[in-house]
Amino acid sequence: MGASATLHSPAADGMEDLILRMSMARGLDEIMAVVRQSARSLIGADGVTFVLRDNDKCHYADEDAISPLWKGQRFPMETCISGWAMKHARAAVIEDIYQDDRIPHAAYRPTFVKSLVMVPVREEDPVGAIGAYWARAGRPSEETIRLVQRIAHSAAVAMTNVALINSLAAAREEAARARDAMILAMASLAETRDTETGNHIRRTQHYVRALAEALKDYEPYSGLLDDDVIDLLYKSAPLHDIGKVGIPDSILLKPGRLEPEEYEVMKTHAELGRAAIATAERYMGSTTPFLSLAKEIAHTHHEKWNGTGYPQGLKGEDIPIGGRIMAIADVYDALVSERIYKPAMPHDEAVGLILREAGRHFDPGLIEVFARIAPKFKEIHCQFADAA
């Protein structure tokens, strides 16, 4: 065929499918895969390439062709036709590459390419280019050129979507990191006021996760605890004693057992914790699953299965699952940890005491599972032991 001949593309069957698949892509690799798998047959070309702008280089990132082109290679922007298309933000349509000075002829001689269309991806600020090549000289039809442009436009939209998704994911991760830092900072307020708690908040956090993960395999708890809930339990557990910031030092730091009237004041930390988190919700103007669960745990982790706990005297399953789990974690850690007014209780003795409280202090179903995984609690206590 002579240089003046016209190359005709096949009918645009499959274009809508390509656009749909492109719109569903969640990463650049998926976008390029759609082009690699569909564009060549759609255009009726002998080769298709996906070029990415890499600062002042053209990165030939992917291709589908009758023989290898330049996949994986990088060339200066000013030496390749994809660079020209990106710099000028418009399509390059070349009937005969050996009659066009924009083409580095030496680079093309080892290839099959005789004619091409190179279209920038995102014309207002090109981030790449898509090229279609033919093994014969001739001008591609206007339909073919429009198809390449539509594919490039769809790739631009898909890449923008991916960038937006990634930025939202990064924002969520940053918000999660900020939330976790806030949790530890708030929990540390309570911890630093009570010089005897040491690593208590870290240990109870891990006890809670270990018990919750074990409960997933048992009814009726499996329906209450999925991976998301367990993650929230783990992250909100450090706030269980946040209400202690409102307890007077004369009581909180007393080096000995509390008098009955002092104990009544200490018990108010559960309600103080609930109120503190509720205040945070009011400032936000809404709640979140994290704040809701943290408030619930702070408020109910001293309730008892038989209804004799505080502050509400809740009984049985009226006590939220988070409070029931935290109750076991909190009591275990108090028993096996040394305090000024008492020595540390051995692990086996502490476990035995907790088992005897099934149906009184603790949910008997939870205690059955706790008995199976009690060695894990001992491991956690050793891992996060208080400094001598």
Q: Do domains 6-165 and 194-383 have the same CATH topology?
A: no
Q: Which of 94-103, 208-217, 274-283 has the lowest mean pLDDT?
A: 274-283
Q: Is the pLDDT of residue 5 over 60?
A: no
DSSP 340: T
Residue 98 pLDDT class (50, 70, 90 cuts) = very high
Q: How far apart are the first and last CA of the chain?
A: 89
| Mean pLDDT, residues 193-201 | 65
Instruction: Look over the chain and give the mean of its residue pLDDT values, rounded to a whole number.
Output: 87
Question: What is the pLDDT, as a whole number, of residue 191?
Answer: 61
Mean pLDDT calculated for residue range 334-354: 92
Among the residue ranges 67-76, 77-86, 244-253, the one predicted with the least confidence is 244-253
3-state SS class at 358: strand
The sheet with strand 57-65 has its strands ordered as 74-76, 57-65, 47-54, 128-134, 115-121, 92-94
* Nearest Cα to Cα of residue 311 among 356, 270, 253: 270
- pLDDT tens for 39-76 read 888 888 999 999 999 989 999 999 999 999 999 999 99
| C-alpha distances out from residue 125 to 74, 122, 153, 156, 157, Å | 20, 6, 12, 10, 12
Give the whole-angstrom CA distance, residue 31 versus residue 51: 12
pLDDT digits (tens, 9 = 90+) for 157-169: 888 878 777 777 7
Instruction: Of 217, 216, 236, 211, give the one whose Cα is nearest residue 226.
Output: 216
Residue 306: partners with Cβ closer than 8 Å, 6 or more residues away: 315, 359, 360, 361
What DSSP letter does each residue of 62-125 carry, written as one string?
EEEESS---TT-EEEGGGSHHHHHHHHTS-EEES-GGG-TTS-HHHHTTS--SEEEEEEESTTS
180: left (phi over 0), alpha (psi -120 to 50) or beta: alpha
Q: How far is CA 17 from CA 20, 65, 156, in A?
A: 5, 21, 16
Q: Is the pLDDT of residue 35 over 80?
A: yes
User: Which of these, 110, 51, 107, 104, lies nearest to 78 by C-alpha position?
Assistant: 104
DSSP state of 292: H
Query: pTM of this prediction?
Result: 0.58
Q: Which spans in the chain are helix H?
A: 15-24, 28-34, 40-43, 81-88, 105-108, 142-193, 200-215, 227-236, 249-252, 260-266, 269-284, 289-300, 321-336, 347-356, 364-383
Q: What is the pLDDT of residue 6?
A: 47
Beta bridge partners, 53, equal 58
What is the C-alpha separation between 46 and 59, in angstroms, rounded?
20
- pLDDT tens readout for residues 200-242: 888 999 999 999 999 998 888 888 899 999 999 998 898 898 8
| Cα→Cα distances 374→230, 264, 320, 334, 355, Å | 18, 31, 22, 15, 10
Structure tokens at 108: 């093309």
Separation between Cα atoms, residue 210 and residue 11, nearest integer Å: 60
How is the chain split into domains, by residue range?
Answer: 6-165, 194-383
Nearest partner of 118 among 144, 77, 148, judged by Cα: 148
Which two three-digit tokens encode residue 316? 């049985």
Looking at residues 161-183, what average pLDDT do you find?
Answer: 71
Where does the pLDDT of residue 289 fall: very low under 50, low under 70, confident under 90, or very high at 90 and above? confident
- Give me the percent of the chain exceeding a pLDDT of 70: 90
Q: CA–CA separation, 128 vs 156, rounded Å? A: 9
**Domain 6-165 is found in CATH 3.30.450.40:** yes
Q: What CATH architecture is 194-383?
A: Orthogonal Bundle (1.10)
Examine residue 10 and say whether the peptide bond preceding it is cis (omega within 30 degrees of 0): no
